[in-house]
Chain A
Amino acid sequence: MTSVANSTGGAGALPAPAAEPGKSVTGTRLWVAVLFLLPAFVLLGALVVYPIGYSIWRSLYDADGSGFVGLKNYGDIFANDATLTAVRNTAIWVAVAPAIVTALGLIFAVLTERVRWGTAFKLIVFMPMAISMLAAGIIFRLVYEQDPNLGAANAVAKSIHDTFVSSSVYPNARPNAAVSDLKPSGGGSFTTTGTVRAGTPAMLPLVGIAPNKLPGSPENARTASGSGVTGTVWLDFKLGGGGTKGKVDPGEKALKGVKVEAVKGGKVVASAKSGADGTFTLPASADGARLRLPASNFSAPYNGIDWLGPTLVTPAIIGAYVWMWAGFAMVLIAAGLAGVDRNLLEAARVDGANEWQVFRRVTVPLLAPVLVVVLITLMINVMKIFDLVYIIAPQPSQDDANVLALQLFLSSFGGGGNEGVGSAIGVILLLLVLPVMFVNIRRLRRERQR
């Protein structure tokens, strides 16, 4: 709107043809022009100029709107950690999201030109644009769900992980801390404090697994016997509780296949696996060693990536944004590409440039104006990003995903109820958008003059 007004103003400043006073270039009377412009001015004034003015005025008052506080609200903003995180995150958004979206859009546009089913592909990539931000937010909230059974992202992460690392038989099992001398020895393994002697069976009671959830059909445990270095690994808990802790009571189940290592002076001298009745036998050389249950016995099942945790939440939401807007960038760039003179590309190829050089040296420079438009439009769009963040970020990490527009909403209406601070954030947001707008207007004007 402003750009049009400015450019007509610019046109008016050109050396005008000698006209009658009170008449413009086109020969309309001034009052007629004013009359026609009036509705637009009234609307603009009521819907744009007045709210901006009111926001600035409001930002100088306190929460109630009754007391004048000067620039205190602005001071509060920069003294508040939440707002500073919001500023930082908005900066990340502006720097990262438009660039990725434009780059992806460019790649899609250039590639779809060459495939037979280009239109169908474009249609699919463009489709997310048809969804509201709110719906997209809900979709990605589900995609990023922590539980691999629910969240698509973690389902993928888990299946990749599990192809390379096999999970343990007894995840989450642990020694019965009350009666066992097995103590955590770093990295998830447990080592006895005492040493094992031949003829005295070692007792390694474990707990933390439900007796009815043991894999297979486990046998009852048996106390090891014999003169060698032996011991028993078993589940020191039976359904309904009871029994003596640290003793193999009747009905308590054996834990088969647990790896037991004999450690002497920090070095593994022997190792064995427990049998079906939970007993294991180590060679005589293990006499006097300490017993260690390595972490591989207990490693918890891989639970995927914490997408919406404090560290990854902003990149994850940017991912959702890219999914939505890549199609938009692609369509605009493809339109620009259609206007590129094919002869130039052909000439470059004839001159011996390879495809990458053609893309890099000819296509991209020719598309530069379109790319700038896309980039700037996205930048303005990203600065006021709100809905995706509000919906995708779960409560505990909302602070870490905070952006300015969200902070504006939260401090005005989200319980803080301080519309003064909210207005101040709004004004700051406006100041941040202005340079981008300025660049955009300059560029538009230059284009018009060309």
Chain B
Amino acid sequence: MRTTSSKNGTRRAARTAAALLAGALTLALSGCGGDDNKSDGGGSSESSSGLKLPSLSGQTLEVAAVWTGAEQDNFMKVMDEFKKRTGAKVNFVPTGNNTSTFLGTKIQGGKPPDVAFLPQVGVLHQFADKGWLKPLGADAKAQLTKNFSKGWVDLGAWKGTQYGVYAKAANKSLVWYNTANFEAAGISSTPKTWKDFLTTAQTLSDAGTPAVSIGGADGWTLTDWFENVYLSQAGPDKYDQLAAHKIKWTDPSVKDALTTLAQLWGKNDLIAGGNKGALNTEFPKSVTQTFSGDTPAGMVFEGDFVAANINGDTKAKLGTDAKVFPFPAVGSDSPVVSGGDVAVALKDGKGAQALLTFLASTDAAEVWAAQGGILSPNKEMDQSKYKDAITKQIAQQLISAGDNFRFDMSDQAPAAFGGTAGVGEWKDLQDFLRNPKDVAGTQQKLEADAAKAYGSG
């Protein structure tokens, strides 16, 4: 008897605690909502952007994406706004790193999420072919054509049908630099061309700074290096052909790009830690060793997401200690290589379409941009909503590329070639970083791997 009563007692206590917690949460949430109201200016923006969303009160939508931590929290702020306008509750499902496998099993199990963010174009094509995606409705399409440039709209389409909205983009053509090291070496202007870039690196190295930090232990950073050089040197048309494997990797244009890369990768002195050190450096370390430590490096190349690593892992301040310049032009123009997550509907119904419509709107883009850590390809949004000046600069570079940007090539390739650790392009470029003299051998290996992957995929 005593045990039962004591058990009841604990249960009651737990219930009280839960009630208190729930109360606190509601308070916190309503607090957030209040803030949003103020910054958005209430319903006025709703009418000004002309966005009409149906009432979905009582419905619950499921959204699946790869994000965790702060990225997920930021996205949920956007979803809070959606809830405020439609009444629909949104549940977030993290997919883990292998999005396509996760979603594939969900769909085959008959329980797909309403909306999913796909990180690769290839996955969109694959899912569309299997008939898993629901085409975009008229409202969403209207928002899309109004707010996005043609390049971004087309990326979300496959075989003439519009499926997706690129609500989140990445700019992968950036070089981040340590301002203190540039000053110490007496470099006053950032390099515009590849030749300047090499000279800058040499000057940094002469001044005793490890010039360029490369995260070679992660193969994807190396594919991004190659893509930027190739896009700038061979041009967008060749880039598209190579991405579709319509020209071979043994093409002379690839040879030129690799030879250009070797001008940097072949100089042990210019690479932080030398070639061997670079191969032992993971991407996060390539950022931290540029902005912290005893002898920080001068420059590190990668996308806008480097900002998150600088903020999270180093004491450097964006905009003062760490600044950014566009990837230098190898050919006539600086390249803009981008990535992004495309939102697609996996279920029929008003809810999923309304959410996509909302994501394609300027309102959603502005709420999201205000959280920081994201770029929107939405060209109509108010650029001043970006959280900081650096992000704004990066976003403007992306938007001003118009339709000349290109989507990350390795993300377009079959996963076995462009998206798997230890094999295909990742591995071949790592071998090239180990031995930058072997241009022809690298080309042959790349072509052999590509032929296999594209053939079976």
Taking beta carbons and an 8 Å cutoff, which residues of A are in contact with B? Answer: 63, 82, 146, 172, 174, 176, 207-213, 237, 239-242, 306, 308-309, 394-396, 398-399, 410, 413-418
Cβ of B434: which chain A residues have Cβ within 8 Å of it?
Answer: 396
Task: Check if B218 is an interface residue, CB within 8 A of chain A.
Answer: yes
B186 touches A210 (CB 8 A): no
26 CB contacts below 8 A, A to B, read: A63-B456, A176-B206, A207-B206, A208-B208, A210-B208, A210-B209, A210-B295, A211-B207, A211-B208, A212-B184, A237-B185, A241-B185, A241-B186, A241-B207, A306-B276, A395-B427, A396-B216, A396-B279, A410-B420, A414-B421, A414-B422, A414-B423, A415-B416, A416-B420, A416-B423, A417-B416
CB 8 Å contact bits of B435-457 with A (1 = contact, 0 = none)? 00000000000000000000010
Residue B430 lies at the interface, judged by CB distance under 8 Å to chain A: yes
Q: In the bound complex, do residue B186 and residue A399 qualify as a contact, i.e. CB atoms below 8 Å apart?
A: no
Majority DSSP secondary structure for residues of A touching B? loop
| Residue of B with least CB distance to A236 | B206
Interface majority SS (helix, strand, loop, mixed), chain B: helix
Q: A213-B295, A415-B416, A416-B416 are in contact. Are A237 and B422 (CB under 8 A)?
A: no
Task: Provide the bound-state CA to CA distance between A410 and B456, in Å.
Answer: 16
Chain B interface residues toward A at CB < 8 A: 101, 183-187, 203, 205-209, 216-219, 269, 276-277, 279-280, 295, 415-416, 419-423, 426-427, 430-431, 434, 456
The answer, among B207, B219, B421, B422, for a CB contact under 8 Å with A207, is B207
Cβ 8 A contact of A82, one of B217, B421, B423? B423
A153 to B205, CA, bound (A): 30
Is A395 a contact partner of B430 (Cβ separation < 8 A)? yes
Contact of B184 among A240, A413, A414 (CB under 8 A): A240
Nearest neighbor of B429 in chain A, beta-carbon distance = A396
B280 touches A394 (CB 8 A): yes
If A237-B207, A394-B280, A395-B218 are given as contacts, then 19 extra A-B residue pairs at C-beta distance below 8 Å, sorted by A number, are: A176-B206, A207-B205, A208-B269, A210-B207, A210-B208, A210-B295, A212-B184, A396-B217, A396-B280, A396-B427, A396-B431, A398-B421, A410-B423, A413-B101, A414-B422, A415-B416, A415-B423, A417-B415, A418-B416
- CB contacts (< 8 Å) of A63 on chain B: these are 456
Q: CA of A414 to CA of B218 in the docked complex: distance in angstroms? A: 15
Bound Cα distance A398, B431 (Å): 12
**Cross-chain contact of B186 among A209, A242, A398 (Cβ < 8 A):** A242
With A240-B183, A242-B186, A396-B217 in contact, do A174 and B415 touch (Cβ < 8 Å)? no
What's the minimum C-beta distance from A12 to chain B, rounded to whole angstroms?
47
Closest chain A CB from B271 CB (angstroms): 12
Given contacts A207-B207, A415-B415, A417-B416, contact A395 B219 (CB under 8 A): yes
Q: Nearest Cβ distance between residue B63 and chain A, in whole angstroms?
A: 25
B421 adjacent to A395 (CB under 8 Å): yes
A396 close to B207 (CB less than 8 A): no
Q: With both chains docked as a complex, state the minimum distance between the C-beta of A191 and any C-beta of chain B, in angstroms.
A: 19
CA distance A395 to B424 in the complex (A): 12
Residues of B within 8 A of A417 (CB): 415-416
Cross-chain contact B416 with A394 (CB below 8 angstroms) = no
Q: Tell me the minimal C-beta distance from A372 to chain B in angstroms.
A: 36
CB-CB < 8 A to A398: which residues of B? 421-422
By a CB distance below 8 angstroms, the chain B residues around A208 are 205-206, 208, 269
B420 and A240 contact, CB distance less than 8 A: no
Contact present for B421 and A146 (CB under 8 Å): no
Instruction: Give bound CA distance, A210 to B209, whole Å.
Output: 7
B184 A210 Cβ-Cβ under 8 A: yes
Inter-chain contacts of A237 with B (CB < 8 A): 185, 206-208
A51 CA to B214 CA, complexed, in Å? 45
> How far is B187's CA from A241's CA once the two chains are assembled, in angstroms?
8
**Are A395 and B217 interface neighbours, CB within 8 A?**
yes
Residue of chain B at shortest CB distance from A238: B186
Chain A residues with CB under 8 Å of B183's CB are 240
Please measure, in the bound complex, the distance between the C-alpha atom of A278 and the C-alpha atom of B38, giving whole angstroms.
Answer: 67
Q: Which A residues are in CB contact (< 8 Å) with B420?
A: 410, 414-416
> How far apart sit A109 and B17, CA to CA, in the bound complex (Å)?
57
Instruction: Provide the bound-state CA to CA distance between A308 and B416, in Å.
Output: 24
Bound form: Cα–Cα A399–B423 in Å: 8
The CA-CA distance from A212 to B280 in the complex, in Å, is 28
A413 to B105, CA, bound (A): 13
Which residue of chain A has its CB nearest to the CB of B205?
A208
Report A-chain residues with C-beta under 8 Å of the C-beta of B187. 241
Q: Are B280 and A146 interface neighbours, CB within 8 A? A: yes
- Complex-state Cα separation, A309 to B427, whole angstroms: 14
A63 to B216, CA, bound (A): 31
